[in-house]
Structure formats: C-alpha cells, structure tokens
Amino acid sequence: MRLIKKSTAVLVLAVVLLVMMISGCDPVVSGESVTGGVSAKTPAPAQVSAEPAPIQTAATVTPNAPARSQTPDTPDVPETQPESEDAWTLLVYLCGTDLEENYGMASGNLAEMLAVPAADNVNIVIQTGGTKEWKTDGIDATKLQRFELAGGEMRLVDEQPLTSMGSPLTLYNFLSWGVDNYPAEKTGFVFWNHGGGSIGGAEVDQYFRPDVLTLAEMREAFAAAGTEEEFEFIGFDACLMATLETALILEPYAKYLVASEETEAGAGWDYVPIVNALNDTPDITGDALGTMICDSFYAKCAQNGTENMATLSVTDLSKVEGVADAWEEVAAELAANAADIGSLGDIA
C-alpha cells in the first residue's frame, strides 16, 4: 500500500506542553518523520512576519498568469443569497496540490462528503484550487471554484480567476464570502492540504510555488474578515499544525483547534461521520465534534493500516494563553540555567 504522509519537524517541548490543553481522543501513536521516496504534505519553510501588512480586501483579484495556465474570464454563475440562519456551516479550503494530481486524495475526501447528503439546515461549502489536475469531474483546475454540496451533488455557486491558495487575500475572500452567504448558528473551517507547522505554514499551491499561507497571513485573513469568535472550530486536515504558535494565532477566531501534532496519513479525515454528526446532532459543539473527528480519523487509519502514524487532537483555545505564559516561564528558566545554548538540544 502506498502511504502519503504530511511531514516536517516539530518542536518536542511545544508538543509536550500542548498536552495540557488537549481534549481526550482515542489513543494515538506519534508518526515518524518522512524520508526517502514517500510523498509528504510538507511545504518549504516560510518566514513568519510578526507584523504583516494589512490585506487590501478587494472582492476579486486577477493575478499574473501562472505557468502553464491562462487567467480565465469569470463566467456568470448563480449568486448565493443568505436565507434564514441554519444550524451548521462547514467551510472547506480545499487546496489539492500534488496530493490530488498524483493520488486523488482530495477527491477521495470529496466523495466522503458527498456520500451522505447534508440536511436542509447544514451547509457544506468548499473552495477548490491549488492543483494542476482534479480527479473529480466538474472541477476546473484553471479557476478557483466554490461548490455547495447538497443532495449528494456538487453545485457550482461561484467562480474566481485563478489566484494562489497560499495568499492571505484568497483566504480572506473565501472567509468573508462564506460567512456572509451561509450564516449559521455554528460554523467550522477546515484547511485541507500540506502542513509544515509553525514555520512552514500550510496550503501549498502548485501554480504558485513556493507561496504558502504562513501563520501571520492566516491571522491577517481572519482579522480582515472580521471573524472574531466566529468559528466553533478551525481544523487542519494536514500535518504538523497542532502547535502552540498555531493555537495562539487562531485563538481570537475560534473556540477549538483540531489538528495533528505529527504527520497525518494522506487519506485524511473521515468526512462521512462528520456530515452524519452535523445532520443527526445539529446542536453539537466544537469540542464534541472535534473529539468525534479524532476518533473517526483514528478508526479510518486503523482500517487502512496506518494507525501507527495517527495523531490528532482537540485544543480548547480559551486556555492557550495560560499555556503560553507557562511555557515562557519554563523557557526563561531553561535559558537561565543552561550551560550554553547548544546544551538545550539535549533536552529533546
């Protein structure tokens, strides 16, 4: 069986401290770093700016034409008008990259989302981009497209010219559009792609390499969209994003973080039980849904024989600042008592 991993190095001490605020899920075993000829969900390291420049929040941006692609005209598509508030909206930022082109992994998760028709009071909405080839019929790799998944079918509701899924402006546009057009009592947001942790960020776009979303750019987009306390959870169906830094960046915008401390199998989360949970329990909270996501992910990994590399956690973001304060105290104590900076590496 070919395994696809999402990997890069993770700071051991940050992971240990994060255990203090992680909700209980089924037992999992940390995966190993990927080497050799295995495809990994690992973007190139990116610089994280402490003070990013504000986003110019234009409704639509036409980028320079990417290699091997023309910037398409935007066709007329049906406008989505917000109606009465539903129980749940799940927004999925689906950046296919090589995981889709080479292995059809994004299409596999799409098939899971479509296997269970969403209830009338549940919205499943995706934005596609970031790959040179989609295995799912009806998705155009030369455009950014937005689909509503309803009745077991994908309905195209919006198209945009091709821009980088690793751009904070592209993320902002989807965030603001999704929240405005699909208001709900509870909203979840999922990043789907490679993950590279606190330094590497996430969302590698094949057309715009090496551009990725840094943590600072994620903060930029969520802040510009005015989504403070908007999300019940923010999740990463990607490797290595359950870090203290990720939690601190997203704390103002969500109640819970669902992410993997280590590498994650390329087959990703199991979306069938996720949609079932939203249908059957419309008042489900982010922590309960997150725990179910962890349990079903582990079960899927066990079924595929990859449970030995399965890590996924739910983090209560209301407690993350306390953890950060405690970590700063530990770090200060370590620095004050270390014989030299190099000796700190011996702790790991």
Q: How do residues 204-261 score in pLDDT, each as one tens digit?
A: 999 999 999 999 999 999 999 999 888 999 999 999 999 999 999 999 999 999 999 9
Q: Which of 208, 236, 5, 202 is nearest to 103 (CA)?
A: 5
Percentage helix, strand, coil for the chain under 3-state DSSP, each rounded to 5: 35, 20, 45
- Provide the CATH topology of domain 84-335: Rossmann fold (3.40.50)
Look up the pTM and report it. Answer: 0.78
pLDDT digits (tens, 9 = 90+) for 12-44: 333 333 434 444 444 333 333 333 333 445 444
Q: Is 154 helix (H, G, I), strand (E, B) or coil?
A: strand
Q: Is 144 helix (H, G, I), strand (E, B) or coil?
A: strand
Q: What's 202's DSSP letter? A: B
Tell me the CA end-to-end span of the chain in Å, nearest whole number: 32
The neighbour count for residue 213, using CB atoms within 10 Å, is 27
Give the residue, 183 or 5, on which the prediction is more confident: 183
Beta strands (DSSP E) in 120-228 are 122-129, 143-150, 153-161, 184-192
Contact criterion met (CB below 8 Å) for 275 and 118: yes
345 — pLDDT class (breaks 50, 70, 90) = confident
**Using CA of residue 143, residue 144, residue 146, residue 151, what is the dihedral sign?**
positive
